[in-house]
A and B are shown apart, each in its own frame.
Chain A
């Protein structure tokens, strides 16, 4: 930044009341976190049905219910974040299709409809064949539902930190981290250790790749853009979000990776569960820091 590098300039803002700083608060963090779980468990159910079909039969309905609950938490917090929540219907009657918000709202609505169809097929009809066929389409739709928030963040021209395709990769990886973690906790005694090991591998690899992306941005981002450098100052040194950033990185990525290796060495399901709990809680912190820090930068 010029004011720090050229003493002769010594420019100081002496009057400027900047317009609001934090525009998207923690409500949006909950939105992203809940959606990661809602779509992530669907991805994991699909994976388990392919890899361990004999184990997963009884998980069809509970997984669908978990997805329905978390997608509704996501929708509820989306609504709560609106300043005019009772006008939400405008998205369907006055849609503007260049907006990721519009496209996302439509897809999320279709996704909820399909989830209820899955619940109907598994609980009322008890038809696993139909369920598995529908699930394929639900998984296909879950991918753009997961990704649209990344599209929205990338449409925020003012926030240089949120770049495509990094945000897309982070959204999918967050869904895999959240989905595998939740399934490890949800499955209880219904899955054998081999199936849980598969979930552990997904959790560990997703955490590893996500961590690499964050560290790449942390180290190399400032070399590319002045605004990114300025934003990342908030999580470096004694920046206001440094502690939260590193707490999130340790809880979501580093400790779960370590614990998964330990659980495989000791064949301990409890260690795997601890990794899952840490990853789920840490994911909220990671998402929150990345949501807030670009909003701290003055635009004027």
Chain B
């Protein structure tokens, strides 16, 4: 079994329900995120549109974070999830530096690395990850990539040629796919990033571990 995620970006409407569900389920501290939705506005007024891209750990088959972790705090589970043992983590932040998706952070409360685990604790109890349950439009599809009859496998087959991963050139083989994505949504260098006020806040970068 190799668990994977797929997000259909045409369905996602940026409600951030998945963000909140993740926060609540995993007790993610203030100022950090395991999952967040990025908004990118494209075009010039009045011809504009807004895109929404949920971002979380990609649970790579060839995970740089697992390779660089000096104490195996980041490790693979048999179902393909890249899990983290916070009791073992020494907080070297090597994984934060290695992850090309910026999906790992230092938890300001425990001072250890943390990230999305595809809700491994829920999966172990045969439940879906919290973000999947919360999504009102079923944009998040979760399942076994090794099983051709699973929803995720069928979705990938149905959308052949329109399934992308982030930064494929890094050779990480992510187990996290996007349908109907594009350069603007998946490539951080394809959109302009202005420091200062954003839609709902004036924060653009979080301090590590609660301090710089």
Contacts and interface: CB of A to CB of B under 8 A. Distances in A.
Interface of A: 1-4, 8-25, 81-85, 87-88, 90-91, 94-96, 98-102, 105, 152, 155-159, 226-227, 230, 295, 297-300
B41 interface: yes
Contact of A16 (B32, B38, B190): B38
A24 B92 CA distance: 9
Among the interface residues A19, A24, A100, A300, which one has the most CB atoms of the partner chain B within 10 A? A19
Interface stretch (B4-12, B96-104, B136-144, B156-164): B96-104
B119 interface: no
B91 interface: yes
A99 B64 contact: no
A214 B41 CA distance: 37
A16 B69 contact: no
Contacts, number: 203
Given A11-B191, A15-B198, A17-B203, A84 B40 contact: no
A12 B206 contact: no
Contacts of A13: 38-40, 191-194, 198
B126 interface: no
B56 to A, nearest CB: 10
A173 to B, nearest CB: 23
Interface string B197-212: 0111101111111001
Contacts of B170: 157
A19 to B, nearest CB: 5
A20 B90 contact: no
B71 interface: yes
A22 B70 contact: no
A90 B73 CA distance: 10
A25 B212 contact: yes
A108 to B, nearest CB: 12
B189 A226 contact: yes
Contacts of B149: none
Nearest to B115: A19
A16 B194 CA distance: 11
A22 B208 contact: yes
Contact of A300 (B55, B70, B91, B194): B55
Contact of B102 (A18, A25, A105, A227): A18
A159 B205 CA distance: 18
Interface residues of B, number: 64
A14 B111 contact: no
Nearest to A155: B68
Contacts of A156: 64, 68, 94, 97-98
B166 to A, nearest CB: 9
Contacts of A22: 208, 212
Interface of B: 32-33, 36-44, 50, 55, 64, 67-72, 88-94, 96-106, 111-112, 170, 172, 183-184, 187-194, 198-201, 203-209, 212
Contacts of A226: 189
Nearest to A7: B44
B93 A24 contact: yes
Most buried by A among B64, B68, B101, B207: B68
Contact of B198 (A8, A9, A16, A227): A16
Nearest to B103: A19
Nearest to A88: B90
A82 B194 CA distance: 31
Contacts of B183: 2
Contacts of A3: 189-192
A298 B71 contact: no
Contact of B97 (A9, A98, A158): A158
A229 B207 CA distance: 25
B100 A157 contact: yes
A158 B97 CA distance: 7
Contact of A298 (B64, B67, B70, B188): B188
Given A96-B69, A96-B71, A155-B64, A82 B36 contact: no
A290 B45 CA distance: 39
B39 A158 contact: no
A187 to B, nearest CB: 37
Given A22-B212, A94-B88, A100-B68, A12 B93 contact: no
